[in-house]
Structure 1
Amino acid sequence: MWKEYYRQRRIASYTLRGRFLMDCLEEQVLPESAPRQLRSDKHPFTESARVYLEEACKNLEDKVNELHHDIDSLALPGWLSRKLAKEYTVQSVKLKRELARLCEVSDWNIVGRLDLVLNLSDRRLSSTEKQVLSLGLKFDIGGNGKGFNEFINCNYKWRDRDADKGFTQGVVACYKALAQSNICVIPRRYKEALHTLSQDDSIIISQADKGGGVIVMNKNDYLDKMLDLLNDHTTYERKPDGNADNEAEKFKIEARNILRKSVKGKKLLGLLEEAPRPPLMHGLPKVHKTGIPMRPITSGIGSAPHKLAKRLAKPLSGTLGSISDAHLRNSSDLIRRSPIQVPKREVVRANRWNRNVLALGCFTCPKPSCLLLKRQYSFRVNLNPKFTDGDIKEHYNQTIDRVTMNKCTKVIGHNEDPRRLNF
């Protein structure tokens, strides 16, 4: 009787210990009994720590299977069964508390920057939710949400042979299977926190316009601010239903007529979208401004000219700065080409000084285009305004004055007159 009791007790102990180590593996924490060599200052959870926990779990599983096959199990008396169940419960609670303590002191807690997370919503974020948001919205968690058909469409080339298309599909299927078998690089509690946040329809999680912060705001507030932008009739105009499809069809007809006139153009006919979707717009909150207005960002991915424009932009990007002198690469280029002679030691720190320099957009304005938004809105603003020589000169002088004032403030302070400084 006692021999059977101790056997079942060891089985329960090994089982609980194995579950605890498996939870540590999923939460990416190391128990106190783990060697200190497994910890690293450069990574919160190293690959050697993962291998150590996997081997420990496998050894405990082998011990449990060995005890199960030693002798046939016997029925224990009621009082011994109750004692065994009580010990099992006490040990289980103890290991759960230990796991929670290890998660609180985990190195994952200091990986992100909590000061970049700004909560403007009515929802109260937990510490785990703040930690996972502090990693940033571009943090790669190791998974991919794309389906198999999406991967096939991304790698589909209409001019390839059928055998090559079949080979591509096979390679994509293998890579998709391997990607699904990969272990997630973030702890389980972070995955659960992300799932909880994604299920909450009352909030919007967005990237800040400046600084790379993460903003959590109410969905109604977000929609109100975006509707305020669309209600600006000087910039946006309401379009009837079906306008996006008509404009996309017009573009495809005109593009086909142009591309068919040359041999190189015929090779680009496959870049025209067969089923284009209208461009979508979202907003980035400007937390550095009063009232937190929204900055509209339009995504043309999947629209009628997207693939063609992406292909044509490659040879043009390498010619920037070589065709026209009106292109400015950065703030340092602006100071270098300005008529003001700035000392070299000041040019090194120029990017920190003139963060508020106005962009000279009047020099490099694109041609007018019909940019549709969700089938209902389109830009009515003139994207190619005509500037006179006086307007350009005034704009340039205002920009140079701002650069000068920023430099003078840093060099001579606020109490002196910057006009007395000789450059």
Structure 2
Amino acid sequence: MVHLMITDAHYRIRKYQHVIEDQKRKLQQTLTPEHFETLSTAIETLCKRHREKRRNILKKKIIKISKPTIEENTNNSVVNLSKQPLTNTEEQLLRKGLNYNTSDAPKLAFYAALESSLKTSGISEETQHEIRQSIIPLTQRMKGNNQLTSQEQTALKKLRTRKDIVIVPADKGRTTVIMDKEEYIKKAEEILEDKSTYKPMDINPVKKLDNRISKTLNKLVKAGEITKQDQWRMKSNEPVLPRFYGRPKIHKPNIPLRPIVALPGTPTYNLSREISRILKHLVDSSNHSIKSATQFLDQIRNIQINDDELMISFDVTALFTSIEPNLAKETLSLLLTNDENLYIYLKSIHFLMNIVESIYSLHLIYC
């Protein structure tokens, strides 16, 4: 599959080289030699700057993955807050973690995921067909593989059928928490009863939101801001409402829940993913962002704190929903306006800000 994608990449490079040469000829016929030379020099300077920037990012990645990593303890902890004890097999099973892959995915699910990936990959139909022809025969010869012992499989079935408990990840770390379902629902309802944040709705707004997004994307297609393929990638098929759940903060008194609103499958989810993809380079090049606690510790490792200085950390409540929308949009517009590599990631600021405006207005209904 990698070989096919590399082949397709070379094909697209050759294709774009022909397009560039064609555009050069048109510009030479339109511009004076002096203007053409000035434009060519400016484009080449921007390209060199972008290549150097990408090269530095890749160098940092190589250095990062080349560093010896601290061996992680894969024996995750389990905290049982329920009234019912766990058997040794059940506890050992849960120590594997909630993301542990117990068996191979069903072939039908794999084929569906493959098709979804191919449709959004941007590669040619011919290459997509070659990938299918290479992968599907391999999957048909594969036998299902279960990673659990027979005792663990029995324990898993038993845990799945229990209605008196919930099994959720903790808010911090890799701990698995078991709670009485009644207690979990009680704490979740206490959060939802905050009328300043949550408000009951009389009707399901999903269809209306989906129609608004469709109209926005249709306008952008007609205006030439996005392609039909972009529209297909940004649109959610058969969208659903967000799901609410809580993660227990086992490091705090009374073990409150951190509210989580899961957006996969909602009308704005694919739009948000597209915007995140476009804006990722702004975050990667920022001096004010941290990807992980490990990166933060690396950066402060050699900092000396004097006797008259203090290092302070803040615990922010409802960080993302506390950000003023107009301020966020103004800041984003300013960053994009000053971005020298903007043309590499999108056609225009107007397209991006139009989508961001739609996401903000629609998310207000969810929050």
Same structural fold, with TM-score higher than 0.5 when normalized by the shorter chain: yes
Pairing partner for 2:209 from 247, 251, 271: 247
**Structure 2 CA distance for partners of 1:120 and 1:331, relative to 1, 3 Å:** closer
Q: Is the 8 A contact 1:260 1:266 kept in 2?
A: no
Whether 1:371 aligns to 2:363 is: yes
Structure with higher Rg: it is 1
Q: Retained in 2: the 8 A contact 1:119–1:215?
A: yes
Equivalents in 1 of 2:140, 2:164: separation in Å?
35
Question: Is 2:236–2:268's contact at 8 Å kept on the other side of the alignment?
Answer: yes
Distance 1:336 1:143 in 2: 37
Q: 2:173 aligns with which of 208, 211, 216?
A: 211
TM-score by length of 2: 0.57
Say which SS state the counterpart of residue 283 (structure 2) adopts.
Answer: coil
Moved more, 297-306 or 158-167: 158-167
How far did residue 132 of structure 1 move?
A: 1.0
AA aligned to 1:121 is: S
Structure 1 position 236 matched with structure 2 position 194: no
2:102 aligns with one of 134, 141, 146 = 141
- Work out whether residues 281 and 296 of structure 1, in 8 Å CA contact, stay in contact via their aligned partners in 2: yes
Richer in helix (by share):
2
Residue of structure 2 aligned with 1:316, choices 270, 274, 279: 279
**Structure 1 contact 331–354 (Cα < 8 Å) conserved:** no
With 277-286 and 206-215 compared, the bigger mean Cα shift is at 277-286
- Code of the aligned partner of 1:344: N
Structure 1 residue runs of 5 or longer lacking an equivalent are: 1-110, 348-352, 380-423
Inter-partner Cα distance in structure 1 for 2:90 and 2:107: 24
Quick check: 2:107–2:139 contact (8 Å CA) kept in 1? no
Match of 2:253 in 1: 290
Mapped partners of 1:327, 1:300: distance in 2: 24
Give the length in aligned residue pairs: 253
Q: Which whole-Å CA distance do the structure 1 matches of 2:84 and 2:294 have between them? A: 43
* RMSD over aligned Cα atoms: 4.0
Residues 45-85 of structure 1, C-alpha deviation per residue, up to 9 Å, x if partnerless?
xxxxxxxxxxxxxxxxxxxxxxxxxxxxxxxxxxxxxxxxx
Q: Does the 8 A contact of 2:268 with 2:362 survive in 1? A: no
CA displacement at 1:174 relative to structure 2: 4.0
Aligned 8 A contact 1:237 1:378 in 2: no
| SS of residue paired to 1:296 | strand
3-state SS of paired residue (1:238): coil
- What residue ranges of structure 2 are gaps of 5+ in the alignment? 1-72, 330-359
Q: Are the structure 2 counterparts of residues 224 and 170 from structure 1 closer, same or farther at C-alpha, using a change threshold of 3 Å?
A: farther
Distance 1:248-1:363 versus aligned 2 partners, 3 A rule: closer
- 1:344 maps to what in 2? 302
Alpha-carbon separation, structure 2, partners of 1:310 and 1:202? 36
Partner amino acid, structure 2, of 1:287? I
Aligned to 2:79: 118
Identical columns (%): 20
Deviation at 1:119, TM superposition (A): 0.8
Give the AA of the match of 1:113. Answer: N
Q: Is the 8 A contact 1:120 1:216 kept in 2?
A: yes
In the TM superposition, what whole-angstrom CA distance separates every residue of 1:341-388 from its partner, at most 9, and x where no partner exists?
x893548xxxxx96944468778975534338xxxx731xxxxxxxxx
Counterpart code for 1:122: K
Q: How far apart, CA to CA, are the structure 1 residues paired with 2:79 and 2:256? A: 15
State the match for 2:183 in structure 1: 221
Write the deviation string for residues 164-185 of structure 1: whole angstroms up to 9, x where unpaired.
7776666665455455x14323
Judged with a 3 Å threshold, the aligned counterparts in structure 2 of structure 1 residues 196 and 345 are, in CA distance, closer, same or farther, namely same
In the TM superposition, residue 160 of structure 1 has moved relative to its aligned partner by 8.4
Measured after TM superposition, the shift of residue 155 of structure 1 is 3.7
Asked if 2 retains the 8 angstrom alpha-carbon contact of 1:279 and 1:371, the reply is no
